[in-house]
Amino acid sequence: MWKGRDVITMREFTRKDMEEVLALSEKMEKISRGRGYDPILKGKILATLFFEPSTRTMFSFQTAMLRLGGTVIGTAEPKSTSAAKGETLWDMIKLVHECSDAIVMRHPNEGSARRAAESSDVPFINAGDGSNQHPTQALLDLYTIKQQKKKIDGLNVLLLGDLKYGRTVHSLAYALSQFEDVTITLHSPAQLRFPAWMYAELKESVKIREIPSMDLSQADVVYATRIQKERFADPTEYAQSAYVLDAEKIGTMKEDAIIMHPLPRVDEIATEVDADKRAKYFRQEANGIAVRMALLSLVMTGR
């Protein structure tokens, strides 16, 4: 079932799938921190293609592969080589799958992950396709929620920031919709609202609602995301839309709530918040390695 599987979108993940990944991730945690070594991917090659700059996701995948005894190949700038010469993604993947046992790709076009996966004979993992999906981020987010809150069912998750272009919140919302009695609460600037089609689709399976002001008091998880200046034609609109979680704001949060962020942050979370016991974003980021180890192992070996 897992062996050879492509990881393209959280829309295709059942609760059982997610729980399998989380369970294996937990077993990987020790090795992910450099304690112990289990070369289950020895002799395997992972190709990483990042058509958009990324340090954390790429490093996280590379480390995950190396910790399991595998090897990584990749070019820092696939854009400047193949695509610039007018080669299609389809043709490029035909070369890359001959050279590897699995492919990880980030690409600016939505649907590029599906296209690449259709061209590839080896398992393909989406590390972000435009504003569409970023499934491995959603899995590490779930892992962190489970780790910190001991459960996912019944939680109220508040998503903040750029909910329109933010692929991480899209993937996370679909992942959460598979759990019981979850409430997804949305708050964003008017220009960056959650896509209407996703909202309509999700409300069939989960409680999802938008709130007009940034009320943190009901949330079990406050998930902040970055608002990019480039999304606004008018800089004054950006200034009005920007938000900051600082010590005062998080004072309104529940005592046992957690603060997450897919990072990098810019100004959304004041550095003074880092010392608060509810701040879990660095832990969340670190969890990415174990979760990606689990996924790489599952798609290449089936376990």
Partner 1 sequence: MTTDKKEREGEMRVKKIENGVVIDHVNAGKAPAILKLLGIDSTFPGTVSIIMNIPSAKFGLKDIIKIEGKVMAEAEINKIALVSPHATVNIVKDYHVVKKHAVKLPEKLEGIIRCPNAICISNREGTPRLRVEQQSPLKVRCEYCERVFTEEQLA
Task: Write out the residues near partner 1 by the rule CB under 8 A.
Answer: 9, 11, 88-90, 107-112, 114-115, 129-130, 132-133, 195, 197, 200-201
Cβ closer to partner 1: 132 or 287?
Answer: 132
> In angstroms, what is the minimal distance from the CB of 113 to partner 1?
9
Collapsed DSSP state (helix, strand, coil) of residue 171: helix
- Contacts with Zn ion, 257-276, as mask; x by CB under 5 A: --------------------
Q: What is the dihedral of CA 81, 84, 88, 90, to 10 degrees?
A: 30
Cβ closer to Zn ion: 114 or 265?
Answer: 114
From the CB of residue 139, how many other CB atoms can be counted at a distance below 10 Å? 27
What six digits make up the tokens of 8?
């393209």
Cβ closer to partner 1: 86 or 251?
Answer: 86
> In angstroms, what is the minimal distance from the CB of 124 to Zn ion?
18
> In angstroms, what is the minimal distance from the CB of 196 to Zn ion?
16
> In angstroms, what is the minimal distance from the CB of 131 to partner 1?
8
Q: How many chain residues bind Zn ion (CB under 5 A)? A: 1
| Side-chain-side CA neighbours of residue 115 (13 Å) | 13
**Do the beta carbons of residue 125 and residue 281 sit within 8 Å?**
no
| Integer-rounded Cα radius of gyration of the chain | 19
Which listed option, Zn ion, partner 1, none, makes contact with residue 11 (CB within 5 to 8 Å by class)?
Answer: partner 1
Cβ closer to partner 1: 76 or 200?
Answer: 200
> In angstroms, what is the minimal distance from the CB of 115 to partner 1?
5
What six digits make up the tokens of 38?
């289990």
Identity (one letter) of the amino acid at 77? E
Element (H, E) at 279: none
**Which of the residues 51 through 110 are near Zn ion (CB under 5 A)?**
none
Which listed option, Zn ion, partner 1, none, makes contact with residue 109 (CB within 5 to 8 Å by class)?
Answer: partner 1
Cβ closer to partner 1: 81 or 109?
Answer: 109
Which listed option, Zn ion, partner 1, none, makes contact with residue 201 (CB within 5 to 8 Å by class)?
Answer: partner 1
> Whole-angstrom distance between the N-terminal and C-terminal Cα of the chain?
10
**Do the beta carbons of residue 129 and residue 110 sit within 8 Å?**
yes
> In angstroms, what is the minimal distance from the CB of 119 to partner 1?
9
Cβ closer to partner 1: 9 or 48?
Answer: 9
With 0-12 / 13-18 / 19 or more C-beta atoms within 10 angstroms meaning exposed / middle / buried, residue 230 is exposed
Cβ closer to partner 1: 91 or 181?
Answer: 91
- The residue whose two tokens read 């990584």 is 72
Which listed option, Zn ion, partner 1, none, makes contact with residue 9 (CB within 5 to 8 Å by class)?
Answer: partner 1
> In angstroms, what is the minimal distance from the CB of 91 to partner 1?
9
In angstroms, the Cα distances linking 106 to 2, 102, 228 are 21, 14, 19
Q: Which long-range contacts (CB under 8 A, 24 or more apart) does 204-207 make?
A: 205/177, 205/178, 206/173, 206/176, 206/177, 206/182, 207/181, 207/182, 207/183
**Do the beta carbons of residue 101 and residue 45 sit within 8 Å?**
yes
Q: Which residues bind Zn ion (CB under 5 A)?
A: 111
